[in-house]
Amino acid sequence: MTKPIRLLILGTGGMARNHAEAFSAIPGVELVAGIDTRPENLAAFLTAHAIPKGFASVTEAIDWGEFDAVTNVTPDAAHFATTLPFLQAGKHVLCEKPLATSEADARKMEQAARQAGVVNMVNLSYRNVPALQRAAKMVREGAIGAVRHFEASYLQSWLTQDAWGAWDKESQWLWRLSTAHGSKGVLGDVGIHILDYATFIAGQDVAEVSCRLATFDKAPGGRIGDYVLDANDSATMQVVLRNGALGTVAATRFASGHLNDLRLRIYGDKGGLEVRFENAESRLLACLEPDLRTATWRDIETPAAPTIYQRFVAAIRGEGEPEPTFARGADLQRLLDLAEVSAGRGGLSLPV
């Protein structure tokens, strides 16, 4: 019989519910505790998910110690300070993206995890998309030949409508628009996903990046209550891969008509792929020989892929690789940091 994995959930916001539901559905995983500094939020979360223990601090939870692994679902700016103590205590950690808010902190987390010898993963949730996994496999098998060009986009519209909630009234959205509240804007929030989406499928590291960022007026005086709305709303990047391939990467919260859509078009010297995750559905299309002359695109079957939650548990049990690791999170954070620097210099292209 497989030994149960006792899981602690750090943070009880909206994403924490997704983590609780996903982990509780995995056989042999026990949700044993939760942490939040807000007593009412913590109590409601524990009740909703039948979690027996609650703590107001990381220190209290570590002193208790009766858990094997942690899933960190705190806001971006808290990831670094809250993850390190668990690593030092020898606990396996799944951390929400971005891993940290600077490459320096992300590298410290990577090093601490390596020294602790524990499973460490960052929640790049679109690795769960079947079309992404199938496309990456095809590229690595040489289906499209040498990668030469790509176009990637992550399109959201929650600043133009309220399908997900009233962004101008709810703290869960407002903090994402304020650098003082730890936000890195759309670049840090979803730019990290589309950079991973594109480069993971391409199977290439980035050699050079340039970026432009835009922040739009959204309220009188640029603020709502305690929230100064100064985080970036749209980002565009030009990216050069190690093999010289050139691509564009875009992310925005102003894509009216798109709730949460990702798309990659990637082209090689032997064919092309289009990888979609739109309206929560995954789709992969390919144009390969002998269809190149007629530009005929065909649907490719995409088998289901295990979720990040399943892969984390499997890695703890020694049944799979812990991917993506903190090292990948730190590499992506370097790209985000360079993109910010580039934007501050008018889009200057910077080597990675």
The residue ranges of DSSP E strands in the chain, in sequence order, are 5-10, 29-35, 53-55, 69-72, 92-96, 120-123, 147-156, 206-214, 223-224, 227-228, 234-241, 246-252, 260-268, 271-278, 281-288, 298-299, 350-351
* 177 located within any domain: yes
* 324 located within any domain: no
What pLDDT score was predicted for residue 296?
98
The CATH code of the domain that includes 186 is 3.30.360.10
Q: How many domains does the chain have?
A: 2
* 332 located within any domain: no
Q: Are residues 268 and 214 in the same domain?
A: yes
What pLDDT score was predicted for residue 28?
96
What pLDDT score was predicted for residue 182?
83
Under 8 Å between Cβ of 128 and 281: no
Distance CA 69, CA 94 (A): 8
- The residue segments making up the domain with residue 151 are 130-304
Q: Are residues 137 and 282 in the same domain?
A: yes
Q: Are residues 139 and 102 in the same domain?
A: no
Of 73, 98, 125, which one is at a domain's C-terminal end?
125
Supply angle C-alpha 56, 59, 61, rounded to 5: 65
Q: Helix 308-316 crosses helix 14-24 at what angle (to 10 degrees)?
A: 60
Full strand arrangement of the beta sheet holding 92-96:
53-55, 29-35, 5-10, 69-72, 92-96, 120-123
Instruction: Give pTM, 2 decimals.
Output: 0.94
pLDDT per residue, tens digit, the chain (352 aa), is 577 999 999 999 889 999 999 999 999 999 999 999 999 999 999 999 999 999 999 999 999 999 999 999 998 889 999 999 999 999 999 999 999 999 999 999 999 999 999 999 999 999 999 999 999 999 999 999 999 999 999 999 999 999 999 999 998 899 999 999 988 999 999 999 999 999 999 999 999 999 999 999 999 999 999 999 999 999 999 999 999 999 999 999 999 999 999 999 999 999 999 999 999 999 999 999 999 999 999 999 999 999 999 999 999 999 999 999 999 999 999 999 999 999 999 999 999 9
Q: Are residues 210 and 276 in the same domain?
A: yes
Distance CA 45, CA 24 (A): 14
Q: Cis peptide leading into 290, omega within 30 of 0? A: yes
